[in-house]
Amino acid sequence: MTAKSRTVDNVSGYNANVFAEKNEQMVQVCTHLERTGFLPKELVKNEVTWFYGIDAKFLDDTSTSNLFRVESYRSNTTATTGVVSQLRCYFVTKCQFNSPNPTSEQEKDISEVADQNFLKKATEHTRGVYQEIMNSVLQRTGPVIEMYEVQGSRERRLVIGYRQRSTQGFFSAMSDLYHYYDLYSTRKYVEQFSNGVTIMSLYLNPLPNTKAVPIEHTIYQVMKETSLLYCLPKNPLQQFFMTSKLSVQETVYGYVAWIFSQHFLNRLGKEYLSLTDILDISDPLHEEVLAKMKKRLRQDTFTREYILDIIKQYPNLIKLLYANFAKVHYVNQREASLQPTISYQRLSTVENLNEQQLLKRIKQVTSNAHEQLVFESFLTFNKHVLKTNFYQSTKVALSFRMDPSFLPEIEYPNALYGMFLVVGSEFRGFHLRFQDVARGGIRIIRSRNREAYSINLRTLFDENYALAATQQRKNKDIPEGGSKGTILLDIDQQDIPLVAFEKYVDSILDLVIAGQTPGIKEPLVDLVGKPEILFFGPDEGTADYMDWASQHARRRNATFWKAFTTGKSQLLGGIPHDLYGMTTRSVHQYVLGIYRTFGLKEEEVTKLQTGGPDGDLGSNEIKISKDKTIAIVDGSGVLYDAEGINREELARLANARLMINNFDTSKLSGEGFRVLVDKDNLKLPDGKIVDNGLNFRNTFHTNPLAQATVFVPCGGRPESVGLDNVHKLIQDTNGGPLFKYIVEGANLFFTQEARLRLEKAGVVIFKDASANKGGVTSSSLEVLAALAFNDAEFEEHMCVKKGQPIPAFYGAYVKEVQNIIERNASLEFEALWREHNKTKTAISILSDDLSTAIVQLNEQLQSTGLWNNHALRDQVLRRAFPKLLLDTLGMETLLKRIPENYVKAIFGATLASQFVYKYGPHPDNFAFFDFMRENYS
């Protein structure tokens, strides 16, 4: 928020309204309604008059062709009936723009992008104010809020600019806000602009004879709380705000704490712990019982509705718990020479209870154990918030850096290093990481219907944790630990993933960029105590957004902007995984390792592939392989041919990134077929009927028709194979497994329990954390180049200009990255197979053991005296840094530019992975000495 305070003359910022054709238009409407008989004739005139006082329902649909401007006026005198009330009139007009689709130059000129009526009515001063605010909105993500004092009057004019579609219901929420402080508006204007900006003006005055705090002070509180309402204009606790039982800050806090409790109240408890002690986890039957028990306990204990009902019963507890939160994180940001803010005064009137006193009060006030647990979870939330943008004026969503130590070890055995909770009006999300220096993708989760949304909501945190844990194991060869971000779109906001992504990124940046600009980015209460850098990558639904995130970090003056995201376009120095097949190069090394180890000829091997030619992994697996692929499953359906699907036609789809619904079915053999998800009651060549195409697609990987030598999942939802359906893969009609070999390209396609069952049945399976690490290696080396080069060098060597040849360094660097990926994958394959033959331990367990051993040794090596051995350090880093970077910049420059904690992580990861791949996860006590003597003496 730009909290500038200016004084203006006591005149309207608009010229007098003249609606010359109003009477004629009303007559036409009346005539039309009388003719159609839509209303009884005697009611037509009154209803038409009422219709012309329309409210803000026209403001949320902001497609350029459907924008409306609003003018609202309140009468100065009482109604003609003598009733002591004032009339409020609304005038809604569809916008007419000079430039409906402005160019990049035109979008900065208000005369080009404003509505024609606005340009006629607005005074020169108003146009100048709006131009300035519009420019500020175009340069940032959050709202711009300006306040003007009116000369010779107590009136305050609030002007708020924001991006269209970035908030909904904001206009009416603002009315609730200023009414809460005993203010009323004489005029309200909402102006739309064709460049995607909305500007709202409110002319605010104190109610006559009010006993509330004077407007001279409340206006600052209104400005502060405007940003909260912009983030969350509607929430289920709004009734308490509208009835003055809770403030905006208290209701928003209650809403966020409700979300927190939804995810962390459904915990398993002592009973589940007792069961795990009694049952044998290695017994598949016991394991299945525990898995079902875990799912049921989480689903049934505390529903969202049940928690909300409890919260609504105790608004006074919300007030106390908010005060406990605010007394840590609220900063009185107005100068000491001014009166303390109303937020600060409000806090001083609430009981100041410590943790023990709050626990005692909760126990006294609530009526049963469930209610007590709900409010104790609020206190857990308070205790573990280390930093928040809750009181930032320019926020677009609420973000909280959490201490994750409250998570129970029984459910989350590997401790998280850091956790972010993000709450916006369109979404909620998490970001989890296992190490300080960590990297992983940001995933958008959509829901087909309300039932799917409910399931996604329930599993959101656990899925995020599992994805981050997989990433941690996958990142064993690189300096960054594992992280993952998830953004769950609200059920009614499935069509605006980019808006949600932008808010998610911006609100996290609020917490990792130090505040320096008064009124825009203030200092925060920081209990983390040290700088943090996050590295984001593409994942489901976000591949096209990485450029924006990088450039936005640059606009916000983040020093790490070049390295902030991977998967950027080549124009910004990115190395696209799909273009260069980075992830596939790792997955396919495992496929080739199987062929090599078991003496198989690739051209004769049959294969099932989930994830089609439209995706990154799917398209590149098709292009890089030579096998006999009998079936491909993708978003559009199932393509099958027992004779082997035509390779030329598959390659055509893969090169064009098209789904199998574009396959030329004339190129299928007599045994081939295609079943699309929107088709029902189809007859297959063998005479069987497919009742439902969607169900057939979803379960085809367990269908006997899918039987093949190799299964390579390149796409699909997490846990597509679990204890509930793994038996279908273990025994086909001939009594053997459906697949002999599996290379899990898609993340979490199998549950760990399912993998172990498959291995017990004789299937050779290499899990995701080992097989698909090529993408993370590519991203890590992309980050390294971004950290190593200064801006000018990065532009010269890493940025591919449109229509110009690829820089020589870039082309050579990509090839070196590909070689490193293939080498690492081959090393791990050989290590896993060697250890499996030696110990007979399941490969799925060995994969985790290798990852754990490398990660733990990495951490130990960074804190030992080996780092201080300069000769050894130089030797290790010369092997670790890509040769091309070393030759271009030299060791001295690299060490000067790359953060030391990152270089330490490179040092540790290199030594640890080299050692563990050679000696295994459980070496003898002298193995490391032998390793160092042989390699670094």
Please state, in angstroms and rounded to a whole number, the distance separating the CA atoms of residues 334 and 561.
31
Rounded Cα gap, residues 119 and 105, in angstroms? 19
Encode burial over 519-557: b for 16+ CB neighbours within 10 A, e otherwise: ebbbebebeeeeebbbbbbbbbbbeebbebbbebbbebe
End-to-end CA distance of the chain: 59
* CA-to-CA dists, residue 65 to 193, 291, 696, 854, angstroms: 11, 52, 41, 57
Q: How many CB atoms lie within 10 A of CB 644?
A: 16
CA atoms of 827 and 821, how far apart (whole Å): 10
- Going by their DSSP bridges, the two strands 481-489 and 438-445 should be labelled as parallel
Instruction: List all residues 6 or more positions away from 776 whose beta carbon is below 8 Å from its beta carbon.
Output: 439, 440, 471, 474, 475, 478, 480, 537
Question: 409: helix, coil or strand?
Answer: coil
Among residues 484, 521, 562, 628, the one annotated as catalytic is: 484
Chain CA centroid to CA 586, Å: 26
Q: DSSP assignment of 448-495, as one string?
A: SSHHHHHHHHHHHHHHHHHHHHHHHHHGGGSSSEEEEEEEEE-TT-TT
Smallest CA-to-CA distance from 738 within 593, 607, 640 is with 607
Question: Is 484 marked active-site?
Answer: yes
* Residue type (1 letter), 741: Y
The 10 Å Cβ neighbour count of residue 485 is 28
For 515, the token pair is: 């505040």
DSSP state of 859: H
State how far the Cα of 120 lies from the Cα of 14, in Å rounded to an integer.
9
Question: What percent helix, strand, coil does the chain show, rounded to 5?
Answer: 50, 15, 35
Q: Are 154 and 205 in contact (CB under 8 A)?
A: yes
- Which residues are known catalytic residues? 484
